[in-house]
Amino acid sequence: MSATQFVADRSGVANTDSTHADCGLCGGFGPAKDWRSVVKASFTALSDLHGEYVCWACEWALATRWTRSAFVCIDGGVTRLKRKDFWPSLFAPPSTPFVLYLTTSGQKHGLYKARVNRTRGQCHVQCEDWSCEVTEGDREWMICAVKARMLGVGRSALESCEFTSRDVLSAGKEFRWVEATMRKAKGRPTFRLMELMPGVADLPQCLTPSASL
């Protein structure tokens, strides 16, 4: 079962198509239709289509606008989130299996590229049309970024690793740790998540994640 099929199934979407085939988008096997009856020729991700059929789950995801928002899907169902509430799930992932999907622009389809996570230590995060794997090492720099922002270090300084004297004063005795950790993290694929970091007021919840997930 693909991630799209996992999310659709946990959302209660019925799969009634009589033809069964491998999906040309998500790769999962199940009820499907000829792609021409589902995807328009103007579909921006048509180059991602690698088969003649599109499954019931991808058809639903392409037609359902809320799948362009942030959400966490577990066996028990889907929790839709605002972007500012997504980061806590990166620090303390939910029970497996689960899917993590984070919107960036809200204008692109990308759920068919997501993966179902079977472990909590390293988890796949789909961010519309790009993705990354979050490991324990990544959580170290993310915690550092959260603490630095709460101390008053500028977000642009953390992203560029170009710190001003004000940033140095804000971080105080923690500055060398912040500088070293962020410089080390800058080359990691997950560093792009800095673009989606919540505002300062919403950062404390990242260090005390909600138990509801």
Q: Residue 75 falls within a domain, yes or no?
A: yes
Q: Are residues 74 and 61 in the same domain?
A: no
Q: Please check the confidence at residue 184 and state whether its pLDDT lies above 90.
A: yes
Q: Residue 212 falls within a domain, yes or no?
A: no
- Tell if the pTM clears 0.85, that is, is over it: no
Q: Please check the confidence at residue 210 and state whether its pLDDT lies above 50.
A: no
pLDDT of res. 168? 95
pLDDT of res. 213? 39
Q: Are residues 150 and 177 in the same domain?
A: yes
- Give the span between the Cα atoms of 190 and 91, in whole angstroms: 13
Q: Are residues 59 and 118 in the same domain?
A: no
Tell me the mean pLDDT in the region 70-77.
88
Highest mean pLDDT pick, 11-15, 20-24, 109-113: 20-24
Q: Residue 45 is part of which domain span?
A: 3-65
Q: Are residues 116 and 170 in the same domain?
A: no
Q: Please check the confidence at residue 76 and state whether its pLDDT lies above 90.
A: no
Band of residue 212 on the pLDDT scale cut at 50, 70, 90: very low
- Give the span between the Cα atoms of 173 and 208, in whole angstroms: 24
What pLDDT, in 10s, does the model give residues 108-166?
A: 778 889 999 998 888 999 988 889 999 988 989 999 999 999 999 999 999 999 999 99
Q: Residue 163 falls within a domain, yes or no?
A: yes
Tell me the mean pLDDT in the region 46-62.
87
Q: Residue 87 falls within a domain, yes or no?
A: no
Q: Are residues 154 and 125 in the same domain?
A: no
Q: Are residues 150 and 185 in the same domain?
A: yes
Cβ contacts of 112 within 8 Å, gap of 6 or more: 2, 3, 4, 23, 25, 26, 48, 58, 61
Strand order in the sheet with 53-55: 20-22, 29-34, 53-55
Q: Are residues 122 and 162 in the same domain?
A: no
